[in-house]
Copies of this chain bind each other. A is one copy, B any other.
Amino acid sequence: MMKRSLSLALLFATATAAAAEVKISGYGRFGLDYNDRNASSGVNGIGAPANGVSSTTITSRLRLQFDFSTETDGAVTLGSRLRVEAESRDNVAVTPGFNGAYFFARYGGMTVGVGNILGAIDAMPGFKINNPATGIGIDGAGFHDEVANVAANVAGQFGNWDAYSSTAAGPNGLEILYKSGAFSGHLSYSRTNTDIAPVGDGIPGNASPSNRTRIAMNLAYTFGDWTAVLGGQASDTAGEDKLILAVMGQVGPVGLRFAYADNEGIRKYGIYGDMDVGTASNVLVFVTSEEAADAGAIAQGRDNRDNVGPRVGALADTGGEGESYGVHYSYDLGGGASVEAGAVRSSNDQTQVQAGVFFRF
C-alpha cells in the first residue's frame, strides 16, 4: 500500500491549557462519474428505468472535520469529533449539515466511545478497501463499490450494522476499544428507543425497526507481516446476524487480503491485491463472489445508491451472476493530493467508472 502523509491536520495547542487542542482537517475531491444506471432505457435487461440523469456527471465532496480533546492530570484523554460534508452526486448538490457527535475517553490502550460510534463491524481492520476513496474511483463509486467488494454486503442485506455517520446522527451507541501489543479488540452496542420513531442509519432500502438492539465485536491479531481479524454482530432484527473473517498481509511488493462473511446464511468471499508501481502509483484489484445474488431485487434502494436524490421511478433490479470485479489506480501528486481512478462491476450487473483528484488539508 502506497504511503501517504496521514496527518496534514491543523493542530493547535491552546495558550492557557497545554492539554486542550482543536484540530481542523478534511479533504476535497472532485471528478467524473460514469454510471450505466443513469439515463438507462429500461430495455437493457437491467430493468432500470430512465431517471433523467446523465450517464456521466460530476461527483464531488468536501469533508470538514473538527477534533476536540484535552488531557486530565491523570493522563485520561477526553475528546469529541464533529463533521460536515458537502456532496454532489448525479448532478444534485447537497448543502451540508453537521453530523452527530462522537465522544471518547482514552487511557493507555483503552478507549470508551459514546454517541455516533465507529461500530465494531464497520471499524474492523480489513473490512474495507484502505485508500483515499475508501474504495474504487473518486467517491467509492457512490458506495456502489462497497456493495460489490465488502463481504458483509450481500443482496438484500446492505449496511445493516452500526457505523459512524458523517452526515446523520449515527448509532448513538456505546463502544470499548482495546489495544495491547499485537492484539486489538472492539466491542460496540446500540439500542434504539422503544415505541418511538426509529432514528435509522440513513441508508435507503435499509428499514429500521423501532427498537433494534445490536451488539458487535472484532478481535485482531498481528503476527509478522500478517494480520487476522474475526468479527461478528448479533441483532434482534432479521438478517443482521453476521460472522466475518479477514486475513491480510504483505508478500514482497504486493499487499493481499482475503475476506469471508456469513450474512445470516448468505456467504460472500473476496480477494483483494494491490501493488506499488514506480515511485508514485498504486494499482488495486478485487473480485468477490456471493450466494443468492438473485435476491438482489429486494435491495434496489441500496444497490443503486449512487442514484440518490429526486428521480422518476425506482430502479428495479433482478439480481445478477454473483461475481463482482473492481480495479483502482492511484497516483500521488504530492502535498496530500492524488489522482484517483477506478472501475467496478457488481453482481447486479451495474458498471461505474470514475476518475478525479483528491486532496487532504
Q: Mark A129-167, 1 if CB is under 8 A from B, else 0.
A: 000000000000000000000000000000000000000
Q: Identify which of residues 40-98 in chain A touch chain B, using a CB-to-CB cut-off of 8 Å.
A: 50-54, 58, 60-62, 64, 66, 68-74, 76, 78-80, 82, 84, 86, 88, 90-98
Chain B hits for A99, CB < 8 A: 95
Q: Determine whether the beta carbon of B101 is less than 8 Å from that of A70.
A: no
Contact-residue bracket for chain A? 35 or more
Give A9 to B91 CA distance when docked, in angstroms.
Answer: 32
Which of A50, A58, A60 is most buried by chain B, counting CB atoms within 10 A of its CB?
A60
A270: B residues at CB distance < 8 A: none
Contact assessment for A12 and B14 in the assembled complex, using a CB-CB cutoff below 8 Å:
no
Would you give the 0/1 interface string for A164-191, flagging 1 where the beta carbon is closer than 8 Å to chain B? 0000111010100000000000000001
Bound CA–CA A94/B54 (angstroms): 35
**Cβ A97 vs Cβ B98 within 8 A:** yes
The answer on a CB contact under 8 Å between B70 and A86 is no
For A1-42 the 0/1 string (1 means CB < 8 A from B) is 000010111111011110111101010101000000000000
Given known A-B contacts A17-B8, A17-B336, A60 and B91 have beta carbons under 8 A apart: no
In angstroms, Cα B116 to Cα A195, docked, is 36
Task: Tell me how far the C-beta of A79 lies from the nearest C-beta in chain B, rounded to whole angstroms.
Answer: 7
Q: Is the CB of B335 within 8 A of A73?
A: yes
A195:B312 contact, CB within 8 angstroms: yes
Most chain B CB neighbours (cut-off 10 Å) among A11, A68, A310: A68
A64 to B68 alpha-carbon distance, docked (Å): 9
Question: With a CB–CB cut-off of 8 A, which chain B residues contact A26?
Answer: 68
B71 in contact with A335 (CB, 8 Å): yes
Residue interface bits A330-344, CB-to-B below 8 A is 1, else 0: 000111110000000
A361, B68: Cβ atoms closer than 8 Å: yes
Q: How far is the CB of A41 from chain B (nearest CB, A)?
A: 14
Cross-chain contact B8 with A14 (CB below 8 angstroms): yes
Q: Is the CB of B196 within 8 A of A337?
A: no
The smallest beta-carbon distance between A94 and chain B, in angstroms, is 7
Shortest distance in angstroms between A113's beta carbon and chain B's nearest beta carbon?
10
Residues of A within 8 A of B (CB): 5, 7-12, 14-17, 19-22, 24, 26, 28, 30, 50-54, 58, 60-62, 64, 66, 68-74, 76, 78-80, 82, 84, 86, 88, 90-101, 103, 105, 114-116, 168-170, 172, 174, 191-197, 199, 211, 309-312, 333-337, 357, 359-361
